[in-house]
């Protein structure tokens, strides 16, 4: 009788424990990376260790949604540590240089021969290996990474909501 009662109680409470286990979100880490940016500096996993940062997977040809998002992030909070990684293969011929790509992004919000934001803290680099490893195929995907290297948020597509940008950034800095 006691054994039947224990089995019945176990059967009743096991589904609630299973739900807890299934609902636990798996921690994802940003992959190891190493790339020379448009400023000639090496950016890699070691350099970014113990600090939060944002990676924007873009492409040299992605101007409107990608550049718009870059400037929206700058306007939400200037000088965020943003690594802009191209999803185009490093060996792709005929593309822009990294500096031309950065200059083009800077000029996106310029009008009437006036310079607006220059994305001075953004480092533009090739990053197709990291994108492939993370199965990111859509330019305009942002990944927010905390100081432990954990991905706290991923956003695909245009992002122009300053409040959402700041909430993603706050979560990466918790």
Q: Which residues contact 158 (CB under 8 A, 6 or more apart)?
A: 65, 68, 69, 140
DSSP result, the chain: -HHHHHHHHHHHHHHHHHHHHHHSPPP-BPPP-EEE-TTS-EEEHHHHTTS-EEEEEE-TT--HHHHHHHHHHHHHSTT--EEEEE-S-TT-TT---HHHHHHHHHHTT-BTTB-----TTEEEEE-HHHHHHTT--STTEEEEE-TTSBEEEEEES----HHHHHHHHHHHT-
Whether 5 has a pLDDT exceeding 70, the answer reads no
Measured between alpha carbons, how far apart are the two ends of the chain, in Å? Answer: 51
Average of per-residue pLDDT across 94-116: 81
Q: What number of CA atoms fall less than 13 Å from residue 118's CA on the CB side?
A: 5
Strand order in the sheet with 151-156: 122-126, 82-86, 53-58, 141-145, 151-156
pLDDT tens-digit series, residues 111-148: 766 667 789 999 999 888 899 999 998 889 999 999 99
The confidence score (pLDDT) of residue 3 equals 55
The mean pLDDT of the chain is 85
The confidence score (pLDDT) of residue 2 equals 61
The confidence score (pLDDT) of residue 19 equals 47
pTM over 0.85: no
The confidence score (pLDDT) of residue 11 equals 55
User: Residue 56 in contact with residue 85, Cβ under 8 Å?
Assistant: yes
């Amino acid at each position: 009788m006691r054994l039947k009662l224990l089995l019945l109680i176990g059967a009743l409470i096991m589904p609630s424990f299973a739900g807890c286990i299934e609902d636990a979100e798996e921690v994802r880490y940003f992959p190891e990376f190493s790339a020379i940016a448009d400023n000639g500096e090496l950016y890699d996993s070691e350099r970014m260790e113990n600090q939060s940062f944002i990676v924007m997977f873009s492409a040299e040809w992605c101007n409107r949604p990608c550049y718009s998002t870059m400037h929206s992030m700058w306007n939400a909070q200037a000088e965020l540590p943003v690594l802009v990684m191209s999803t185009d293969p490093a060996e792709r011929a005929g593309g822009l240089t990294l500096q031309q790509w950065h200059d083009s992004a800077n000029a996106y919000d310029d009008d009437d021969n006036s310079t607006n934001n220059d994305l001075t803290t953004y480092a533009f680099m090739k990053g197709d290996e990291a994108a492939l490893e993370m199965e990111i195929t859509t330019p305009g995907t942002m990944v927010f990474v905390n100081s432990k290297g954990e991905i706290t948020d991923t956003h695909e597509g245009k992002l122009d909501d300053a409040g959402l940008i700041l909430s993603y950034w706050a979560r990466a800095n918790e």
